[in-house]
Chain A
Amino acid sequence: MTHSTSSKSQRTAALLVAAAVLAVTVMGVRSATAARPQLQPDSAPARTSKRSQPGRYSVTGRTVLINRPRQEVYDFWRDAANLPQFMEDLESVEVLPSDDGTATGTKTRWTSRNAIGGLESVDISIVHDMPGEMIAWKSADGAMVDTRGKVTFSNAAEGRGTIVTAIQSHAAPGGMVGNALAKLWSGDPALQMRHALKRLKMLLETGEIATVGHDAPKT
């Protein structure tokens, strides 16, 4: 048996094996497809899906139970001056005049610190306001990071207070890479959201924010 014949027969054998594997795989996939019932959407919010969500926005959401009446929680959040009390990354929120010249608090300028300690501002407008139920906002056109968010307030079971859900989405220029860089530059939105809601809960339920000193609350 010559070397070339041997090599040829080996190639043939390899091809046969590959074809067999492919056939079995296809059969397997088909039978698995046939056996698996069609997926129905479940009751869980989309942000808890195991699949990454399509689109250029990075979405984060979080729910917290606050043992206070719904209207009170809404009113506290709706007053822009209160936001820096529980959004730790915010240095200040300034209320800007609305288009008609009045200060209704629908246009605001949020100032926060970036990773190297510099101050950065973004103008945020309330785009939907349902008293006692929901506040939705978005960043002004042309902002470096396109930010949209909403917070909803609903009644928990009798005696448990208010369910507060905040959802925020960000789209930085450059897609996923841009979003990752924005996270390094401005902080992790999911962490900031989680901490903000917990601080809000502390403030409304106890009148203060728990501290051991070196993370003393801002005044």
Chain B
Amino acid sequence: MRAVTWHGKHDVRVETVPDPRILNPRDAIIEVTSTAICGSDVHLYDGVVPGMQKGDILGHEFMGRVVEVGADSTLNVGERVVVPFTISCGSCFFCQKTQFSACDNSNPVSAQDATEASYGHALSGLFGYTHLTGGYPGGQAEYVRVPFSDVGPIVIPDGFEDDTVLFLSDILPTGWMAAENAEIEPGDTVAVWGCGPVGLFAIQSALLMGAETVIAIDHYPNRLQLARGLGAKIIDYSQTRVSEALMEMTGGLGPDAVIDAVGMESHGFAPDRLLDRAKQAVGLGVDSAHALREAIYACRKGGRVSVPGVYGGFSDSFPTGALMQKGLTLRSGQTHVQRYSKELLHRIADGEIDTTFLISHRLPLEEAATGYHNFAFNQNDWTKVVLKTPASGWSA
């Protein structure tokens, strides 16, 4: 089959690789129709996530048709499914608490040692990501093996176009959980750093959850316009002093909740961020946490800090003083996708949530490298890239 493979910093290729096969009773094989490039794929593309190996198949946002099932799969051949990026067993302590992204049983045992040593606990398995999360072959391919297919995949009824439901795999529930972690109350102002796909879905979700005002912060005009289109106020940090503006726009209170939808590769020319990037450049494994620092600084006393942005290592000059002295609550984590699947599918069906507005480009799978390059280097215009396989029947 054809698949998008990682070969190093800024080097992804479409290659012919062996087809996946059923390995465990609960597995299913999915023939992919649509698969997207995620912001966290860009972290892999930029080479800032450890544990990648040459030839790894990328992709964790994908959907398609079931073509083969293991003995204990509950799926049927021919069903259309969207597959969550988190691989979860459904029966461990964490899955039973619906903390699916903390599943104890999805990361192969030998792959658990590294994160057990570096984070204190082993991470769960993820599709198409680093070997720290299992090194599972990903969904930017014609076929994918899906473990625990009786727990993860969301069966999609007829009548939904791929592009309306594809983002149930990751970015829509990720934006939703980010807003949920902001514990929004009526009257609240929520500030969101980063108008990438997750930030935009967090904005949409925060408004649906009853936020009075959402303020979106970015410097790409096109992305800020998308945020404004959803009903957010916007701040362009390239022309505005963000913290001061947030105080002035919230009656001197500060935002009730702040969301860092940027993560470890923040942009801009703030001194702390330049120092972080310098350390990253010499391999010191430092997360560039400028957006998170600024968010904590801006958040009102007693407010909530929600972090869907991806971090992997350590961050210097983390503002512990502001966090403690202002009595902030911080919540974060990989998304517990399976927790939100049904509800979000209903909201899409009811027309409450539109997910297609952020798709800027559709490309054949074969042109994945073009998609990666532009999604990484032309972020203003390339807001979301969906790759289409031949099985989708799509043509440009």
What is the interface of chain A, defined by CB distance below 8 A to chain B?
Answer: 65, 67, 88, 160-161, 191, 194-195, 198-199, 201-202, 205-213, 215-217
Q: Is B51 an interface residue when CB atoms closer than 8 A count as contact?
A: no
Q: Is B109 an interface residue when CB atoms closer than 8 A count as contact?
A: yes
Contact A206 B26 (CB under 8 A): yes
Distance (Å) between the CB of B277 and the closest chain A CB?
A: 33
Given contacts A205-B104, A208-B26, A212-B134, 19 further A-B contacts (CB under 8 A): A195-B109, A201-B92, A206-B91, A206-B148, A208-B25, A209-B24, A209-B108, A210-B105, A210-B107, A210-B108, A210-B125, A211-B24, A212-B108, A212-B111, A212-B135, A212-B136, A213-B23, A215-B108, A216-B23
A211–B109 Cα distance when bound, in Å, is 8
A202–B105 Cα distance when bound, in Å, is 5
Smallest CB-CB separation from A161: which chain B residue? Answer: B93
Q: Is B178 an interface residue when CB atoms closer than 8 A count as contact?
A: no
Point out the residues of chain A lying under 8 angstroms from B25, CB to CB: 207-208
Point out the residues of chain A lying under 8 angstroms from B12, CB to CB: none
Contact A206 B105 (CB under 8 A): yes
Distance (Å) between the CB of A97 and the closest chain B CB?
A: 34
Distance (Å) between the CB of A173 and the closest chain B CB?
A: 30
Contact A207 B105 (CB under 8 A): no
A216–B22 Cα distance when bound, in Å, is 11
Point out the residues of chain A lying under 8 angstroms from B96, CB to CB: 67
Partner of B110, one of A65, A160, A195: A195
Complex A-B: 24 CB contacts under 8 Å: A67-B92, A67-B93, A160-B93, A195-B110, A199-B109, A201-B105, A205-B89, A205-B92, A205-B104, A205-B105, A206-B26, A206-B90, A206-B92, A206-B105, A207-B72, A209-B24, A209-B109, A210-B24, A210-B108, A210-B109, A211-B23, A212-B134, A212-B136, A216-B23
Q: Is B112 an interface residue when CB atoms closer than 8 A count as contact?
A: yes
Q: Is B39 an interface residue when CB atoms closer than 8 A count as contact?
A: no
Point out the residues of chain B lying under 8 angstroms from A194, CB to CB: 113
Contact A215 B23 (CB under 8 A): no
Partner of B104, one of A191, A201, A209: A201
Point out the residues of chain B lying under 8 angstroms from A207, CB to CB: 25-26, 72
Point out the residues of chain B lying under 8 angstroms from A161, CB to CB: 93
- Number of interface residues, chain B, beta carbon within 8 A: 28
Point out the residues of chain B lying under 8 angstroms from A202, CB to CB: 89, 105, 109
Q: Given A201-B104, A212-B134, answer yes or no on A206-B110 (Cβ-Cβ < 8 Å).
A: no
A210–B134 Cα distance when bound, in Å, is 9
Distance (Å) between the CB of A134 and the closest chain B CB?
A: 23
A65–B96 Cα distance when bound, in Å, is 14
Partner of A65, one of B90, B93, B107: B93
Smallest CB-CB separation from B72: which chain A residue? Answer: A207
Contact B108 A67 (CB under 8 A): no
**By CB atoms of chain B within 10 A, which of A160, A205, A212, A216 has the most?**
A212
Partner of A208, one of B24, B90, B104, B134: B24
Q: Is B303 an interface residue when CB atoms closer than 8 A count as contact?
A: no
Main SS class of interface, B: loop
Q: Is B137 an interface residue when CB atoms closer than 8 A count as contact?
A: yes
Q: Is B139 an interface residue when CB atoms closer than 8 A count as contact?
A: no
A53–B110 Cα distance when bound, in Å, is 28
Smallest CB-CB separation from B116: which chain A residue? Answer: A194
Distance (Å) between the CB of A158 and the closest chain B CB?
A: 13
Q: Is B309 an interface residue when CB atoms closer than 8 A count as contact?
A: no
A207–B92 Cα distance when bound, in Å, is 12
A209–B25 Cα distance when bound, in Å, is 10
Point out the residues of chain B lying under 8 angstroms from A211, CB to CB: 23-24, 108
Contact A206 B89 (CB under 8 A): yes
Contact B147 A210 (CB under 8 A): yes
A207–B23 Cα distance when bound, in Å, is 13
Distance (Å) between the CB of B351 and the closest chain A CB?
A: 37
- In order of increasing CB-CB distance, the 10 nearest A-B pairs are A208-B24, A206-B89, A202-B105, A198-B109, A210-B108, A195-B109, A205-B91, A206-B105, A205-B92, A212-B136
Q: Is B106 an interface residue when CB atoms closer than 8 A count as contact?
A: yes
A67–B93 Cα distance when bound, in Å, is 7
Point out the residues of chain B lying under 8 angstroms from A195, CB to CB: 109-110
Distance (Å) between the CB of A12 and the closest chain B CB?
A: 52
A88–B148 Cα distance when bound, in Å, is 22
Distance (Å) between the CB of B126 and the closest chain A CB?
A: 12
Contact A215 B91 (CB under 8 A): no
Point out the residues of chain A lying under 8 angstroms from B148, CB to CB: 206
Smallest CB-CB separation from A198: which chain B residue? Answer: B109
Point out the residues of chain A lying under 8 angstroms from B72, CB to CB: 207
Partner of A67, one of B91, B106, B125: B91
Point out the residues of chain A lying under 8 angstroms from B93, CB to CB: 65, 67, 160-161
**By CB atoms of chain A within 10 A, which of B93, B125, B134, B147 has the most?**
B93
Contact with A along B3-43 (1 / 0, CB 8 A): 00000000000000000000111100000000000000000
A210–B108 Cα distance when bound, in Å, is 5
Distance (Å) between the CB of A215 and the closest chain B CB?
A: 6
Point out the residues of chain A lying under 8 angstroms from B110, CB to CB: 195, 215
Smallest CB-CB separation from B137: which chain A residue? Answer: A212
A51–B90 Cα distance when bound, in Å, is 40
Distance (Å) between the CB of B370 and the closest chain A CB?
A: 28
Distance (Å) between the CB of B125 and the closest chain A CB?
A: 6
A213–B89 Cα distance when bound, in Å, is 17
Distance (Å) between the CB of A83 and the closest chain B CB?
A: 16
